[in-house]
Amino acid sequence: MRIERIELREVRLPLVHPFETSFGRETVQRVVIVKVWGEGLIGYGESAAGIGPWYSYETVETCWHVQRDFLVPLLLGRKIEAPTVVTGLFAPVRGHPIAKTGLEEAVWDLLAKEAGEPLAHFLGGTVDRIESGVSVGIQPTVDRLLDRIGTFIDQGYRRIKIKIKPGWDLDVVENVRQRFPDVRLMLDANSAYSLADAPLFRRLDEYALMMVEQPLGYYDLLDHARLQEQIGTPLCLDESIITPEHAGWAIELGSCRIINIKPGRVGGLYSARRIHDLCQEHEFPVWCGGLLETGIGRAHNVALSTLPNFRLPGDVSASARYYEHDIVDPLFELNPDGTISVPSGPGIGVAVDEERLEACTVRSRMFEN
């Protein structure tokens, strides 16, 4: 399949609720939606960089620059036999995984559509529903947090992740556990602590947490291994795992016992699948994280989550948890049993509402060959 045309679109979508983490507060999501054309078909992908270089060094501006000036020229006009070759094609560009992901995902969608297969199946997944969890941002008060968690539990979410930061940790967890003694609960610190905080994490061992995600430095593997040795709760790495090699190093060093896989963080679905396979060989469970994607990136995350070693509920929640007017049809909805159904149509399996997409586009650019 020859890649005949590529379009980049910067999209802005207001979030239903502001999302606050240890690195800041977002009220609007900005992403680059990528469309690729070949043989009368269109593939869609998403680069969910967000507004500032907080979670990662990438922003919508860096994605646009790296895509327009370096990645699009590497892909446009090429004959692509299999989506797995895109990662190699992009290898000369160092880093910038979120920028790469939008284009790589769009090629996966396009080739799955060419094969007439749902993306989930095309990737090697088997299940028709995935377990859904929800990530709850830092709230103005503990009461607000308890309310929000209660609402999500009532909706059926299968596990709750709460964001923590210094000053919003032990007491908050104590309160959540008192109110919800049995909920499957985990924490995400987004690198807000250092090894000197080990005593805090030892105290958190008392709360039957499924895991603590990324407590220490965003590039660190060694201090996480030192911390994991001192605590009972499994550590889960997010920011520190950027390539399959990092996953291998983390496993060898004992830096964590669980890995959060996000296509955006690792440069796309092929890299995500390689990390999945490596973790499976080492009996490390994985789950699918998120970057507040619109329905397009969400569809890719849903498809990825159907691989067999995605054994824990992910941060792949319903469209309505993020956006009032998402850009896909149908929307992703939570089933009463806390699962999300995997679309059964070809490719991402959901239609993109082009009118809606146009309405929230702030700039676009077409590249033709």
Cα–Cα distance list, 11 to 3, 327, 364 (Å): 23, 10, 9
Residue in 138, 291, 340, 360 binding ligand OSB, rule: CB under 6 A: 291
Selection from ligand OSB, Mg ion, none that 105 binds (CB < 5 to 8 A by kind) is none
Q: By CB under 5 A, tell whether 188 contacts Mg ion.
A: yes
Pair 341, 335: CB distance under 8 Å: yes
The amino acid that residue 323 corresponds to is Y
Query: Bridge partners of 6?
Result: 36, 367
Selection from ligand OSB, Mg ion, none that 135 binds (CB < 5 to 8 A by kind) is ligand OSB
Q: By CB under 6 A, tell whether 46 contacts ligand OSB.
A: no
Instruction: Look up residue 87 and give its two tokens.
Output: 């990662």
What's the rounded Cα separation, in Å, for the pair 240 and 260? 10
Instruction: Check residue 66 and give left, alpha or beta (phi > 0: left; psi -120 to 50: alpha).
Output: alpha
Q: By CB under 5 A, tell whether 238 contacts Mg ion.
A: yes
Strand-pair category, 134-136 with 160-163: parallel
Nearer to Mg ion, 10 or 213 (CB): 213
Q: By CB under 6 A, tell whether 157 contacts ligand OSB.
A: no
Q: Which of 144, 130, 131, 52 is nearest to 98 (CA)?
A: 52
Residue in 66, 106, 292, 312 binding ligand OSB, rule: CB under 6 A: 292
Told to judge if 163 belongs to the known catalytic residues of this protein, a careful annotator would answer yes
Q: By CB under 5 A, tell whether 26 contacts Mg ion.
A: no
In degrees rounded to 5, what are phi and psi of residue 327? -100, 10
Nearer to ligand OSB, 86 or 303 (CB): 303
What's the rounded Cα separation, in Å, for the pair 59 and 129? 32
Residue in 29, 47, 67, 190 binding ligand OSB, rule: CB under 6 A: 190
Q: By CB under 6 A, tell whether 188 contacts ligand OSB.
A: yes
35, 100, 163, 165: which one is catalytic?
163
Residues found in the chain: 369
Least gap, CB of 108 to ligand OSB (angstroms): 19
Residue in 37, 44, 55, 332 binding ligand OSB, rule: CB under 6 A: 55
Q: By CB under 6 A, tell whether 58 contacts ligand OSB.
A: no
Residue in 83, 118, 263, 290 binding ligand OSB, rule: CB under 6 A: 290
Nearer to ligand OSB, 58 or 109 (CB): 58
Buried b (16+ CB within 10 A) or exposed e, 245-274: ebbebbbeeebbbbbbbbbbbbbbbbbbbb
Least gap, CB of 291 to ligand OSB (angstroms): 5
Told to judge if 165 belongs to the known catalytic residues of this protein, a careful annotator would answer no
Q: By CB under 6 A, tell whether 338 contacts ligand OSB.
A: no
Instruction: Look up residue 32 and give its two tokens.
Output: 């680059």
Nearer to Mg ion, 32 or 189 (CB): 189
Q: By CB under 6 A, tell whether 305 contacts ligand OSB.
A: no
User: Mind telling me the catalytic residues?
Assistant: 163, 262
Q: What residue ranges bind ligand OSB (CB under 6 A)?
A: 55, 135, 188, 190, 238, 289-292, 315, 317
Q: Catalog residues that contact Mg ion under the rule CB under 5 A.
A: 188, 213, 238
